[in-house]
Amino acid sequence: MKVGNINIALIGNPNVGKTSVFNQLTGLNQQVGNYPGITVEKKQGVCKLSSNLKATILDLPGTYSLNASSLDENVVIELLLNKNDKDFPDVAIVVTEVENLKRNLLLFTQIKDLEIPTILVINMSDRMSYKGISLDIPYLENQLKTKIALVSSRKGEGIDNLKNLIINYKNITTEPCLNASSIDVAYFNNLRRAFPNQSLYKLWLVITQDVNFANLNRNELPNPSFAKSKEDLKRLQQKETIKRYQFINDVLKVGQKIDLASAKDLRSKLDRILMHKVFGYVIFFLILMLIFQSIFDWSSLPMDFIDSSFVSLSSWTESQLTAGVLTNLIVQGIIPGLGGIAIFIPQIAFLFLFISILEESGYMSRVVFLMDKSMRKFGLSGKSVVPLISGTACAIPAIMATRNIENWKERLITILVTPFTTCSARLPVYSIIISLVIPNTRLFGLFNLQGLTLMMLYLLGFGMAFFSAWLLNKILKIQSKSYFVVEMPNYKLPMFKNVVINVIEKTKSFVFGAGKMILALSVILWFLASYGPGENFRNAREIVSKQNPATEHLENEIASYKLENSYIGIIGKSIEPAITPLGYDWKIGIAIVTSFAAREVFVGTLATIYSIEETGDQEATIKNKLSTEINPITGDKLFNLASGVSLLLFYAFAMQCMSTLAVTKKETNSWKWPAIQLVFMSGFAYTVALIAYQILK
């Protein structure tokens, strides 16, 4: 039997539980991708309606109306106006929430006017009695010319009814609820004459928005009289909005009854505590502490496990394969490369777990509200709090999280300064250098000096982010209106299913997205370090044995001689003059060069360079080796307080992450901003490291 398929678009305001409805309909039967060319997430899932009918459901980004003001909202309009799009819906489902029905219906009336069969879902029906709300469903269905499904996505109620409505979608009238021409009668009459076969509301949308739609490009409108000034259009959009609200208010006056007895509720009580001028900040601080604790403490166990698993996988593979170039590539290039990705999974998962709980519960909007004024002093927005916190795990998702900042200048500054926050990739570098150069003693018999140093580096990262934000705010001459609208949603207990799906999806896209980059680079690095030009590299064995015939560590000596003459060694030697004033030798130079791909390869690169057998505790053996290295120029220990501090500062400030630069390019749509990031951050890092070394040496 052939299984039929219909396309469904799920549309709704943010915070109405649209994703919960999506999860209820599709379960784990979903896939997340990107819309071509832009970074807006595209979520699609399949739902089995009956034995011979299934539905492909597209979860469109949350939007307040069809008047697009962001990339996410543009996606919605583009799809709904383009009948030729392969995802064009047979049925549109507008998800609303019982407590915000009035506002949610604005979008519904717009969708309805597109003349697509539309089903109205009223979600969170379980809260109706608690809120004293009652609805006259037959009346509402009649007035809104639709079918209504009362759903509680939290309890899973009403989903079967919704599926039935979808199966019978052909019974739903496509008649619009509102007469679009009443917005401006003369104007719309002209439009109707020019385009007799088009829906008026579609024409209106095409004229007011920046989208093209099937066979009707807005630039090709035949009569210039249809073009209106931006101000006039905005005025008309306002008029449209007022008209729609009038209609909705009239309908709800009859169709919805609210018993106001339950006015003071949990929301206002929680608001009073969570946004208190003292307790509000204390609670936020405690939550931050909890997040850091989990990222750096709780995830260390699974991270160690992943780390050691990859080491054993590497040696096991080596023992199974015959020795050769391909084996070397797999064992030294690909497997450690994959390990470098996998090791971050626990931290990323913990971070997304917390962020997703904070967002689902409605708390994040409160933090944005509390922090906005203080953040604005630095040219940032209250909404910058989220990216700056996420930045402590990884700058890549953090920069993507800036999308909801309306003000372009505030958003740009947030993107530019986020990489200063101490991301998890800096942690291994910090910990090994600190253990080398900072004495393991207690300050005032209380604070561990090494721990204190680590904390200082975190504070330094945040401090630098705020300082450069302040600086950029002074320098950048971008005029943009200080728009800031944050919906303060109701508090909700986060739904386990939503949180889990979100964590899995985000972690997956991190591993596959950033992972590809790290993997590719580690293969390139392996190649550059394993091959070299000229006689010196090829005849390494003969040359070394001739020089030191009696050495016990012949193999190690050969390996380091080879490295010195490999491609990467030549690069390291050539940058040596630039880094000597900072207290580094050419080997550290190579580690710094490779760190521009990703910081976490620093330790691994040094490990290869100092040709240590990879047995036992890798960091300890590296540590022993590093602590005995002698600087050939000064004759002192290579890693002393001066060069150590210099390195720490360099890693704290330098822009050493290609993926971050790529994301910045993607989000700002220009190479200018990543270039500024790279030059400014690395230049600053170099200067600070230079000064520190010259003072301390």
Partner 1 sequence: MNLTISNLAIGQKAIIKDFDINNIPLKLLEMGCLPGNMVEVIQIAPFGDPLYLNINDSHVAIRLETASIIEVEISKENQL
Residue positions forming the annotated binding site for GTP:
12-19, 37-41, 59-62, 123-126
The Cα–Cα gap between 111 and 144 comes to 11
Query: Measured from the CB atom, is 103 or 497 closer to partner 1?
Result: 103
- Among 262, 374, 480, 694, the residue binding partner 1 under the rule CB under 8 A is 374
Query: Measured from the CB atom, is 238 or 551 closer to partner 1?
Result: 238
Burial of 160 (0-12, 13-18, 19+ CB in 10 A): exposed
Least distance to partner 1, CB of residue 268, Å: 7
- Among 88, 195, 226, 369, the residue binding partner 1 under the rule CB under 8 A is 369
Least distance to partner 1, CB of residue 100, Å: 7
**Binding positions for Mg(2+):** 23, 26-27
SS3 for 326?
Answer: helix
Least distance to partner 1, CB of residue 239, Å: 10
CA angle 58, 62, 64 (to 5 degrees): 130
- Among 373, 474, 477, 546, the residue binding partner 1 under the rule CB under 8 A is 373
Do 652 and 460 touch, CB atoms closer than 8 A? Answer: yes
**Beta-carbon count within 10 A of 674 CB:** 22
Query: Measured from the CB atom, is 113 or 406 closer to partner 1?
Result: 406
Q: Which stretch binds partner 1 (CB under 8 A): 41-49, 162-170, 276-284, 467-475?
A: 276-284
Query: Which residue type is seen at 640?
Result: N
Query: Measured from the CB atom, is 89 or 280 closer to partner 1?
Result: 280
Least distance to partner 1, CB of residue 320, Å: 60
Query: Measured from the CB atom, is 170 or 277 closer to partner 1?
Result: 277
SS3 for 157?
Answer: strand
Each residue 55-94 as x (binds partner 1 by CB under 8 A) or -, in order, gives ---------xx-x-x-------------------------
- Among 85, 87, 115, 372, the residue binding partner 1 under the rule CB under 8 A is 372
Q: Which stretch binds partner 1 (CB under 8 A): 274-282, 590-598, 629-637, 672-680?
A: 274-282
Q: Which stretch binds partner 1 (CB under 8 A): 3-11, 162-170, 277-285, 680-688?
A: 277-285
Query: Measured from the CB atom, is 104 or 530 closer to partner 1?
Result: 104
Residue 697: HSE in the Cβ half-sphere, 13 Å Cα cutoff: 20
- Among 155, 235, 508, 516, the residue binding partner 1 under the rule CB under 8 A is 235
Query: Measured from the CB atom, is 70 or 539 closer to partner 1?
Result: 70
Least distance to partner 1, CB of residue 383, Å: 11
Query: Measured from the CB atom, is 188 or 284 closer to partner 1?
Result: 284
Identify the helix (H) or strand (E) that includes residue 529: helix 496-530
CA distances from 472 to 41, 660, 663 (A): 30, 19, 20
Least distance to partner 1, CB of residue 482, Å: 5
Q: What is the largest CA-CA distance in the chain?
A: 100
Q: Which of residues 458-517 bind partner 1 (CB under 8 A)?
A: 481-490
- Among 2, 277, 477, 546, the residue binding partner 1 under the rule CB under 8 A is 277
DSSP category for residue 329: I
Token pair recorded at residue 494: 């986060």
- Among 80, 91, 98, 106, the residue binding partner 1 under the rule CB under 8 A is 106
Q: Which of 623, 630, 269, 261 is nearest to 438 (CA)?
A: 623
Query: Measured from the CB atom, is 367 or 503 closer to partner 1?
Result: 367
Residue 46: HSE in the Cβ half-sphere, 13 Å Cα cutoff: 9
Each residue 337-366 as x (binds partner 1 by CB under 8 A) or -, in order, gives ----------------------------x-
Do 94 and 144 touch, CB atoms closer than 8 A? Answer: no
Query: Which residue type is seen at 604?
Result: G
Least distance to partner 1, CB of residue 392, Å: 24
What phi and psi values does residue 445 have, to the nearest 5 degrees? 65, 15
- Among 382, 515, 583, 674, the residue binding partner 1 under the rule CB under 8 A is 382
Least distance to partner 1, CB of residue 368, Å: 8
The yes or no reply on residue 128 touching partner 1 (CB under 8 A) is: no
The Cα–Cα gap between 327 and 206 comes to 58
Query: Measured from the CB atom, is 195 or 484 closer to partner 1?
Result: 484
The Cα–Cα gap between 124 and 133 comes to 12
Token pair recorded at residue 216: 């009707």
Residue bearing tokens 């009239």: 250
Burial of 48 (0-12, 13-18, 19+ CB in 10 A): middle
Least distance to partner 1, CB of residue 656, Å: 36
Least distance to partner 1, CB of residue 158, Å: 23
Token pair recorded at residue 334: 């690909």
Token pair recorded at residue 238: 């306002």
Least distance to partner 1, CB of residue 134, Å: 16
Query: Measured from the CB atom, is 164 or 374 closer to partner 1?
Result: 374
Token pair recorded at residue 19: 């994703």
β-pairing, 147-150 vs 118-123, is parallel
- Sign, CA dihedral 131-485-505-7, equals positive
Query: Measured from the CB atom, is 67 or 660 closer to partner 1?
Result: 67
Do 66 and 180 touch, CB atoms closer than 8 A? Answer: no
SS3 for 337?
Answer: helix
Least distance to partner 1, CB of residue 118, Å: 18
Query: Measured from the CB atom, is 233 or 696 closer to partner 1?
Result: 233
The Cα–Cα gap between 362 and 369 comes to 12
Query: Measured from the CB atom, is 47 or 368 closer to partner 1?
Result: 368
Do 295 and 351 touch, CB atoms closer than 8 A? Answer: yes
Q: Which stretch binds partner 1 (CB under 8 A): 160-168, 273-281, 576-584, 598-606?
A: 273-281
The Cα–Cα gap between 537 and 515 comes to 31
Token pair recorded at residue 134: 């009652």
- Among 51, 171, 229, 268, the residue binding partner 1 under the rule CB under 8 A is 268
Do 696 and 645 touch, CB atoms closer than 8 A? Answer: yes
Least distance to partner 1, CB of residue 666, Å: 24
Each residue 244-263 as x (binds partner 1 by CB under 8 A) or -, in order, gives -x------------------
Token pair recorded at residue 161: 């009814």
Identify the helix (H) or strand (E) that includes residue 675: helix 672-696
Each residue 284-323 as x (binds partner 1 by CB under 8 A) or -, in order, gives ----------------------------------------
The Cα–Cα gap between 402 and 404 comes to 6
**Binding positions:** 12-19, 23, 26-27, 37-41, 59-62, 123-126
The Cα–Cα gap between 633 and 640 comes to 14
Q: Which residues contact 640 (CB under 8 A, 6 or more apart)?
A: 437, 583
Do 376 and 414 touch, CB atoms closer than 8 A? Answer: no
Query: Measured from the CB atom, is 366 or 562 closer to partner 1?
Result: 366
Residues that bind partner 1 (CB under 8 A): 64-65, 67, 69, 100, 102-103, 106, 231, 234-235, 237-238, 241-242, 245, 268, 271-272, 275, 277, 280-281, 365, 368-370, 372-374, 382, 406, 481-490
